[in-house]
Amino acid sequence: MGMQADAAEMTGPLLAGAPSAVEAVPPWREQLTVRGVVVSAILGVLFCLITHKLNLTVGIIPSLNVAAGLLAYFLVRTWTAALGMFGVVSKPFTKQENTVIQTCVVACYGLATSGGFGSYMLAMDQKTYELIGTDYPGNRAVDVKNPSLSWMIGFMFVVSFIGIFSLVALRKVMVINYKLTYPRGTATAMFINSVHAATGDELVEKQVSCLGKYLSISFLWNCFKWFFSGVGDSCGFDNFPSLGLAAFKNTFYFDFSPTYIGCGLICPHIVNCSALLGAIISWGFLWPYISTKAGEWYPANLGSNDFRGLYGYKVFISVSLILGDGTFNLIKIIYATIKEIMNARSKQGRLPLVWVHGGNAIFLLYLVDLPSYHTSWISSCLPFIIADDKDSKLSVEEKLLNEVFLKDSIPPWLAGSGYVGLAAISTTTVPMIFPQLKWYLVLFAYVVAPLLAFCNSYGTGLTDWNLAFTYGKIGLFIFASWVGQHGGVIAGLAACGVMMSIVSTAGDLMHDFKTGYLTLSSPRSMFVSQLIGTSLGCVIAPLTFWLYWTSFDIGNPDGMFKAPYAAIFREMSIMGVEGFSVLPRHCLAICSFFFFGAIAIKLIRDVTPNSLSKFIPLPMAMAVSFYIGAYFAIDMFIGTVILFVWERVNRKEAEEFAGAVASGLICGDGIWSVPSAILSIMRIDPPMCMYFKPSFTYG
pLDDT tens sequence across 35-80: 999 999 999 998 898 888 878 876 667 677 888 888 888 888 888 8
**Domain count of the fold of the chain:** 1
Q: Are 340 and 381 in contact (CB under 8 A)?
A: yes
Q: For residue 229, list its beta bridge partners.
A: 689
CB neighbour list of residue 382: distance below 8 Å, 6 or more residues apart: 169, 337, 362, 363, 412
Is 623 inside any structural domain? no
Per DSSP, the chain holds a count of helices (H) and strands (E) of 30, 0
- Please give the pLDDT value at position 22: 55
pLDDT of residue 526: 92
Start-to-end Cα distance in the chain: 63
Q: Which range has the worst mean pLDDT, 22-36, 338-352, 363-377?
A: 363-377
Q: What is the mean pLDDT of the chain?
A: 83
Residue 373 confidence (pLDDT) above 60 = no
Average of per-residue pLDDT across 91-113: 92
Q: Among 182, 46, 42, 37, which residue's Cα sits nearest to residue 97?
A: 37
Local confidence band at 255 (pLDDT 50, 70, 90 cut-offs): confident
What is d(CA 170, CA 33) in angstroms, rounded to the nearest whole number? Answer: 27
The pLDDT value given to residue 561: 78
CB 498 within 8 A of CB 442: yes
Cα separation, 274 vs 272, whole angstroms: 5
Please, which pLDDT band fits residue 387 given cuts at 50, 70 and 90?
very low
Res. 382: pLDDT tops 80? no
The answer to the question of residue 237 being in a domain is: no
Which pLDDT does position 407 carry in this prediction? Answer: 84
Phi, psi for 298 (deg, rounded to 5): -155, 160
Residue that wins the pLDDT comparison between 614 and 288: 288
pLDDT score of 438: 93
Global pTM reads 0.80
Are 526 and 96 a contacting pair, CB within 8 Å?
Answer: no
For 345, other C-beta atoms within 10 Å of its C-beta total 10
Provide the residue range defining the domain that includes 442: 27-169+410-585
Three-class SS of residue 615? Answer: coil
Distance CA 612, CA 608 (A): 6
Q: Which amino acid is at 48?
A: C
pLDDT tens by residue, 654-675: 888 888 888 888 888 878 877 8
- Per mean pLDDT, which of 219-233, 315-329, 529-543 is the most reliable? 529-543
Residue 367 has what pLDDT?
Answer: 34
How many CB atoms within 10 Å of residue 188? 34
Radius of gyration of the chain (CA): 25
Residue 49 in domain: yes
Confidence (pLDDT) at 12: 44
Q: What percent of the chain has pLDDT over 90?
A: 32
Given its phi and psi angles, is residue 299 left (phi above 0), alpha (psi -120 to 50 degrees) or beta? beta
pLDDT confidence of residue 638: 93
**What pLDDT is attached to residue 352?**
44
Residue 5 has pLDDT above 90, yes or no: no
| 3-state secondary structure string across 105-147 | HHHHHHHHHHCCCCCCCHHHCHHHHHHHCCCCCCCCCCCCCCC
* Cα–Cα dist 89/492, whole Å: 54
Alpha helices in 58-122 (DSSP H): 65-85, 95-114
**Mean of pLDDT values over 373-379:** 37
Provide mean pLDDT across the span 282-295: 92
Identify which has the larger pLDDT, 253 or 357: 253
Give the pLDDT score at 465: 81
Residue 698: pLDDT band with limits 50, 70, 90: very low
Whether residue 124 has pLDDT greater than 70: yes
pLDDT at residue number 16 = 44
Q: How many CB atoms sit inside 10 A of residue 666's CB?
A: 33
pLDDT, tens digit, 9 for 90 and up, residues 292-336? 999 899 998 887 778 888 988 998 899 899 889 888 888 888 887
- CA 308, CA 304: separation in Å to the nearest integer? 10
pLDDT exceeds cutoff 80 at 354: no
Q: What average pLDDT does the segment 446-465 reach?
A: 87
Q: Judge contact between 368 and 479, C-beta under 8 A.
A: no
- Identify the pLDDT of residue 388: 42
Any domain includes 574: yes
| Contact (Cβ atoms closer than 8 angstroms) between residue 161 and residue 534 | yes
Between the alpha carbon of residue 627 and those of residues 246, 273, 290, the distances in Å are: 19, 16, 14
Q: Which of 262, 219, 258, 222 is nearest to 657 (CA)?
A: 262
pLDDT band at 627 (very low <50, low <70, confident <90, very high): confident
DSSP string across 225-294: HHTTB-SSSS-SGGG--TT-HHHHHTT-S----HHHHHHHHHS-HHHHHHHHHHHIIIIIIIHHHHHTTB
Question: Is a pLDDT exceeding 60 seen at residue 246?
Answer: yes
Q: What is the pLDDT of residue 699?
A: 45
Chain centroid, CA 556 distance in Å: 30
Specify if 176 maps to a domain: no
Rounded CA-CA distance 474/48 in Å is 26
Residue 353's pLDDT band, with cuts at 50, 70 and 90, is very low
Chain-centroid distance of CA 426 in Å reads 23
Q: How confident is the model at residue 364 (pLDDT cuts 50, 70, 90)?
A: very low
Q: What is the pLDDT of residue 362?
A: 35
Left (φ > 0), alpha (ψ -120 to 50) or beta: where does 200 sit?
left
Q: Distance between CA 336 and CA 325 in Å, rounded?
A: 17
pLDDT, tens digit, 9 for 90 and up, residues 155-173: 999 999 998 898 888 888 8
Whole-angstrom CA distances from 489 to 249, 272, 568 are: 33, 39, 13
The string of DSSP codes covering 489-555 is: HHHHHHHHHHHHHHHHHHHHHHHHHHHHHHTT--HHHHHHHHHHHHHHHHHHHHHHHHHHHHHS-TT
**518, part of any domain:** yes
CA distances in angstroms from 413 to 136, 382, 422, 482, 572, listed in the order given: 50, 10, 14, 33, 39
Torsion of CA 570, 572, 576, 577, to 10 degrees: 30
Any domain includes 52: yes
- The per-residue pLDDT for 92 is 87
pLDDT in the model for residue 55:
83
Q: Residue 288's pLDDT band (boundaries 50, 70, 90)?
A: very high
How high is the pLDDT of residue 385? 37
pLDDT band at 371 (very low <50, low <70, confident <90, very high): very low
In a domain, 210, yes or no: no
pLDDT digits (tens, 9 = 90+) for 179-208: 888 888 888 898 898 888 766 567 777 887
